[in-house]
Chains A and B, each alone.
Chain A
């Protein structure tokens, strides 16, 4: 079990230190600093073993979170806990930064007391935590006996993520399908690897204890129904994709509220949602991915001191859709001494500190193409090493799901209160972002 938890800033100074078990001494704090944060060689492994003590760390911007244990714990559990803890902290005070941690350290200790008990992870559901760990002092809003008992029953009850008696005037729910598409393409345009990792994030403002059912164009479900012959899918053609009927999901994980038994038997996703924002599911697909952009690089070496680069990007989705925040990053050789760039659209700049030309385009419609050409001057070096030609990477945001995932329905049933599925206002949004989207050149 987790023996202790430390938070360091980038210098290795301890911001938060919470020791849960006696086997972790104060020297463990220093051991991690010396051996990991200040290590001569950058430590790449997230798990470090120093003197029979294991350190599991994650890094958020400049902040190190390290869980320490002397026992043989389940590493996946520890990391899950650390991620969860990051989520909780983000939910409470926003970005995890040194400043924020210093300003909220009382709160963090309070949270740590709650979500980790003698090293055993406890309920770390933000919604539930927020009911009893508030940032107001005791004076501000004394909780009544009833409220307290309600919290107790909720936290210890079967549905720990939702309390009873929630009431909204307007029953509303927001559903975001957030995907990030990863690609590695050869210079010739051959896809070397591609996958989409997606998340379904929900924000629900529903009264009572509603029972929800979520449906999407999962291949297995569609194929099952396909025999019945009901494949009228409205809104299908509106989206950018190639009109795919269904998608094959490689693997998925769900929020704890989803009834896994039902998913296993019927592959239907039914749940009682938590109140507020949460991540309903995570999934990954590798087949039939819609690649929103195609990058065509052309690199020509003119002698030893000159390099000509031409890059064309083509958008590959419906013309009615607009991609946003497009950024192409073209690496330059390490001995670049000067760069001239010409581009038709957007702005391009040579960033010496990053050894790259960064080309930014605000928005771009589908089925268009754009081009940049650059002349790079090189300084002759006495190193015979050839330039490794790192891949050209790209960032963008598109308003559809590159995996082809569609939300078919999200039904809400609340038997006790008298509102029906039709009364609920539902919002669905698709956002596809680039993950690691690279083309070799």
Chain B
């Protein structure tokens, strides 16, 4: 049927497609497709044999339906049948269907493989090509397994047609890319290399792709390709535009092949053989020469093809990086392109130049184009080109032109696109630092940078300035002066305020001599910016203020006034409030030399690599400007930089700007995890400060002095009780005298639960829990009689000054307690500051007409708010020594009330709430404890030492804590316990 095979109308398919195109809605389309599918199914049903033509037609329709996005689950068999047809069109449709639709795990894969195998061995080049295309299109692992051995054979066989070789090479490439392990290297590899000499250019082009890919994995095996490639290249390059006929594209001979050859050469180092190398250099020179020739055509395709070769050649030159002559020529050639009106060319030229700039041979040559590049940066319309120009400027910068380039970049920054601003800022910062000859220039530049593009200046940049200023003594005064001037601008960026705050805080004294920048003026200037800043900046400024107090004592009152103002000391932000409170306290309590120590000038930062560079690397990712080169330059400029290179992020964060670090830890008030471990150390630090403030040198002596008996221990409950207690005993029931309640109180020092009180009528149970400075107490009132209590009321009062020390809230209790019943009352306690008294609980009720009234002490004692602290022996004694003021210590020697059982003692001490420290005291008999009392106002670190003396049945108890009242009270409480 020559007519069918030639015209090959497949009218049914055309009608079907036009039907679908005419469908008005999706539903109509689906209906039409369903109908067609049913029709095809009935045709494929099997009882009637279909001729090849209709099979092809229906398979085509199925393919079309599949491409419309519907699932096809039949027809595969018919498609496979088509493969065995002898007609090209039928075979083609069969292969098409299979490449599109057959998934790798199909059952039919065996049949398909068989058909492919037949075609491969058929010697019919068209069929072989179809089969190879199918393998490449499917490209599955199964395919690779089945044909990975076969294809190389076809590829290198002598009698294979060129077109088949071409397909085979590409097919093998595809298989190698999907499953490289299955394509085994063998003797064919050497013969593949010789394909580079093939007469047929198509074969060479296809083979090169394969060789390039293979040689990346096994460079040694394909080494021989270099000389072949060079000779091939030279033949192409030297050929006239008419020599290659079909492979000449707009007067350029074989541009694709040339590019691929050049790229293949980039996989290898420069050839060692002098002749080959000479030939290659010749080729490259020819290519560069050709670029200078007037174009043979005005068509864009011509110049594109020519430039493609040229850029590939330049890449190769850069890759070799050994031919100064060529490098310079390449650079000059690119220089011409810099002003080309073709945007893509400009882009490519800038990009290539960036790499050229890193070569030692062409660096100078690149530098000659600085004006053009700067011009490009300013006038270029395309943002991506501008970005490249900026990259190039960065790459070509060295000490000689740094000032110019940085100035240009700075001035460009004002108008730069937002997308590249941050990167530009980083670059300027790096360049300014790297090539800074004198640091005043550096400071000027960075401050300018902050002024111009403040929003884009990342933390790292301003950290870096501060590091450098701190590490370089010679620039500090200048820096202070400059920031002072910069801050005078009516609107300055927050980053500028940060830098200003920090530098003036550190080095404000260096410019204080000038009346125009007297301390007060400096302070007022900083403070005028305060309200416009965010919280972290404000925090930094507060630190700067306290540094001012140290630097200029005359500003103390002004600054204290500021700190004391409600907007600081009652700021809703915890950090600010804390700083204000602490600094205020610090400034008023500490003496000048303490202040001077605490607020000493920052020590120089340790030397580290600039974090900015890391940030730039991260930002740009691979393919960025040669950062390596930069680092090299950096090392070179290192000595110039002096102590410039140090301080990465974390180092700065830690030591920087006294963020929460020194000051907050100083007082150890940080909440959260540090409480247990860090707080005591912090507490001791504080104590350290204060003890020095007191300048008490005889602390050590006190430590050695014999303990003084505190005589008032019996009156431990304080003055309040004796006044408040007697009137409460009104009822006829005499069972509630106050002294007893004192004892009851002592019972609960070391435990939290138990029976607080009991008489014939009433039993009061207690259960309590404490966390930090908060406590909750459950009181259980049990009616022991069978008669109900009426008008049962309880009141909790805090006598005397306890009111301001303890916040006690009780929930009301039910006024009626049935006989034998129990009611519960919840009392919430908040410890505001340390206290020595106990709150009173007054209970009134009527029992059988008689009013009962009793007053008890609630067992809330200061030790309930203990937070245990673990520490090592060394730490303990260090702290012990630090708490050496006489009033900080309380000591007592008393007789044992109970048996001296070690375990019982331990349990009691643990119940106290402190941490019992083992292996601290040299004498194993002694007990040592440590803990921090959490109150709302402050934390009081306390240390305790209990020395039992078994022979004398005596104890010596020593308590030291940072607050004298606490020591005393603890001592009193504990003396009753053992």
Write the residues of chain A forming the contact surface with B, with a CB cutoff of 8 angstroms: 10, 42, 62, 334-338, 352-355, 377, 379-383, 385
Checking A62, A354, A385 against B25 with a beta-carbon cut-off of 8 angstroms, the contacting residue is A62
Quick one: given A62-B25, A354-B31, are A337 and B73 in contact (CB under 8 Å)?
no
Residues from chain B with a CB closer than 8 A to the CB of A338 are 42, 45
The closest CB in chain B to the CB of A355 belongs to B34
B42 touches A335 (CB 8 A): no
Q: Among B26, B31, B107, which residue has the most Cβ atoms of chain A within 10 A?
A: B31
Min Cβ gap A339→B in Å is 9
Q: Among B34, B38, B108, which residue has the most Cβ atoms of chain A within 10 A?
A: B38
Complex CA gap A178/B893 in Å reads 102
Complex CA gap A10/B25 in Å reads 7
B44 touches A337 (CB 8 A): yes
Complex CA gap A62/B23 in Å reads 12
State whether the Cβ of B41 lies closer than 8 Å to any Cβ in chain A. Answer: yes
A352 touches B34 (CB 8 A): yes
B45 touches A354 (CB 8 A): no
Checking A337, A352, A380 against B35 with a beta-carbon cut-off of 8 angstroms, the contacting residue is A352
Checking A335, A354, A355 against B73 with a beta-carbon cut-off of 8 angstroms, the contacting residue is A335
A379 touches B44 (CB 8 A): yes
Residues from chain A with a CB closer than 8 A to the CB of B304 are none
Quick one: given A62-B24, A335-B41, are A353 and B107 in contact (CB under 8 Å)?
no
- CB-based A-B contact count at 8 angstroms: 50
State whether the Cβ of B379 lies closer than 8 Å to any Cβ in chain A. Answer: no
Residues from chain B with a CB closer than 8 A to the CB of A62 are 24-25
The closest CB in chain A to the CB of B44 belongs to A379
Min Cβ gap B708→A in Å is 77
State whether the Cβ of B242 lies closer than 8 Å to any Cβ in chain A. Answer: no
A-facing residues in B22-69 (Cβ within 8 Å)? 24-26, 31-32, 34-35, 37-39, 41-42, 44-45
State whether the Cβ of B86 lies closer than 8 Å to any Cβ in chain A. Answer: no
Residues from chain B with a CB closer than 8 A to the CB of A355 are 34, 38
State whether the Cβ of B963 lies closer than 8 Å to any Cβ in chain A. Answer: no
Min Cβ gap B61→A in Å is 14
Residues from chain A with a CB closer than 8 A to the CB of B24 are 10, 62
Q: Taking A337-B42, A380-B74 as given, write out 20 further A-B residue pairs in contact, using a Cβ cutoff of 8 Å, ordered by the A residue number.
A: A42-B26, A334-B37, A334-B73, A335-B73, A335-B74, A337-B41, A338-B42, A338-B45, A352-B37, A353-B31, A353-B34, A353-B35, A354-B34, A355-B38, A377-B45, A379-B44, A379-B74, A381-B73, A381-B74, A382-B108
Residues from chain A with a CB closer than 8 A to the CB of B76 are 382
Complex CA gap A353/B33 in Å reads 7
Residues from chain A with a CB closer than 8 A to the CB of B44 are 337, 379
Complex CA gap A290/B267 in Å reads 83
A379 touches B41 (CB 8 A): yes
Residues from chain A with a CB closer than 8 A to the CB of B74 are 335, 379-382
A-facing residues in B480-497 (Cβ within 8 Å)? none
Residues from chain A with a CB closer than 8 A to the CB of B31 are 353-354
For the complex of A and B, the 5 pairs showing the least CB-CB separation, nearest first, are A352-B38, A383-B73, A353-B31, A337-B41, A353-B35
Min Cβ gap A349→B in Å is 13
Complex CA gap A354/B27 in Å reads 10
Complex CA gap A336/B35 in Å reads 11
State whether the Cβ of B106 lies closer than 8 Å to any Cβ in chain A. Answer: yes
Q: Among A62, A379, A381, which residue has the most Cβ atoms of chain B within 10 A?
A: A379
Would you give 10 A-B contacts (Cβ < 8 Å), ordered by A? A62-B24, A62-B25, A337-B44, A338-B42, A352-B38, A352-B39, A353-B31, A381-B73, A382-B74, A382-B106
Residues from chain B with a CB closer than 8 A to the CB of A336 are 38, 41
Q: Among B24, B32, B39, B106, which residue has the most Cβ atoms of chain A within 10 A?
A: B24
Min Cβ gap B50→A in Å is 13
Complex CA gap A353/B20 in Å reads 13
Residues from chain A with a CB closer than 8 A to the CB of B73 are 334-335, 381-383, 385
Complex CA gap A275/B37 in Å reads 53
Residues from chain B with a CB closer than 8 A to the CB of A354 are 31, 34
Residues from chain A with a CB closer than 8 A to the CB of B41 are 335-337, 379
Min Cβ gap B348→A in Å is 36
Residues from chain B with a CB closer than 8 A to the CB of A42 are 26
The closest CB in chain A to the CB of B34 belongs to A353
Give the size of the chain B interface in residues (CB under 8 angstroms): 21
Complex CA gap A353/B32 in Å reads 6
Q: Among A42, A353, A380, which residue has the most Cβ atoms of chain B within 10 A?
A: A353
Residues from chain A with a CB closer than 8 A to the CB of B37 are 334, 352
Complex CA gap A336/B76 in Å reads 16
Residues from chain B with a CB closer than 8 A to the CB of A382 are 73-74, 76, 106-108
Complex CA gap A42/B24 in Å reads 16
Residues from chain B with a CB closer than 8 A to the CB of A385 are 73
Complex CA gap A138/B76 in Å reads 68
Complex CA gap A379/B40 in Å reads 10
A337 touches B108 (CB 8 A): no
A-facing residues in B294-344 (Cβ within 8 Å)? none
Min Cβ gap B760→A in Å is 65
Min Cβ gap B24→A in Å is 6
Complex CA gap A62/B27 in Å reads 10
The closest CB in chain B to the CB of A380 belongs to B74
Min Cβ gap B39→A in Å is 7
Residues from chain A with a CB closer than 8 A to the CB of B42 are 337-338
The closest CB in chain B to the CB of A9 belongs to B24
Complex CA gap A62/B74 in Å reads 33
Complex CA gap A352/B34 in Å reads 6
B34 touches A379 (CB 8 A): no
Min Cβ gap B685→A in Å is 55
Complex CA gap A382/B37 in Å reads 15
Residues from chain B with a CB closer than 8 A to the CB of A379 are 41, 44-45, 74
Complex CA gap A201/B37 in Å reads 44
Q: Among B41, B45, B71, B76, which residue has the most Cβ atoms of chain A within 10 A?
A: B41
The closest CB in chain B to the CB of A42 belongs to B26
Complex CA gap A42/B69 in Å reads 13
Residues from chain A with a CB closer than 8 A to the CB of B26 are 42
Residues from chain B with a CB closer than 8 A to the CB of A335 are 41, 73-74
Min Cβ gap B78→A in Å is 11
Complex CA gap A369/B962 in Å reads 100
Complex CA gap A353/B27 in Å reads 10
The closest CB in chain A to the CB of B35 belongs to A353
Min Cβ gap B100→A in Å is 15
Min Cβ gap A57→B in Å is 16
The closest CB in chain B to the CB of A383 belongs to B73
Min Cβ gap A185→B in Å is 26
The closest CB in chain B to the CB of A352 belongs to B38
Residues from chain B with a CB closer than 8 A to the CB of A337 are 38, 41-42, 44-45
Min Cβ gap A40→B in Å is 9
The closest CB in chain A to the CB of B45 belongs to A337
The closest CB in chain A to the CB of B31 belongs to A353
A-facing residues in B1-33 (Cβ within 8 Å)? 24-26, 31-32
A-facing residues in B94-111 (Cβ within 8 Å)? 106-108
Residues from chain B with a CB closer than 8 A to the CB of A381 are 73-74
Residues from chain A with a CB closer than 8 A to the CB of B38 are 336-337, 352-353, 355
Residues from chain B with a CB closer than 8 A to the CB of A383 are 71, 73
Min Cβ gap A317→B in Å is 34
The closest CB in chain A to the CB of B46 belongs to A379
Min Cβ gap B706→A in Å is 81
Complex CA gap A337/B41 in Å reads 5
Min Cβ gap B32→A in Å is 7
Complex CA gap A325/B37 in Å reads 29
Complex CA gap A122/B205 in Å reads 74
Complex CA gap A25/B256 in Å reads 50
Residues from chain A with a CB closer than 8 A to the CB of B107 are 382
Min Cβ gap A303→B in Å is 14
The closest CB in chain A to the CB of B108 belongs to A382
Complex CA gap A352/B38 in Å reads 6
The closest CB in chain A to the CB of B77 belongs to A382
Residues from chain B with a CB closer than 8 A to the CB of A334 are 37, 73
Complex CA gap A379/B74 in Å reads 8
Complex CA gap A353/B39 in Å reads 10
Complex CA gap A379/B78 in Å reads 13
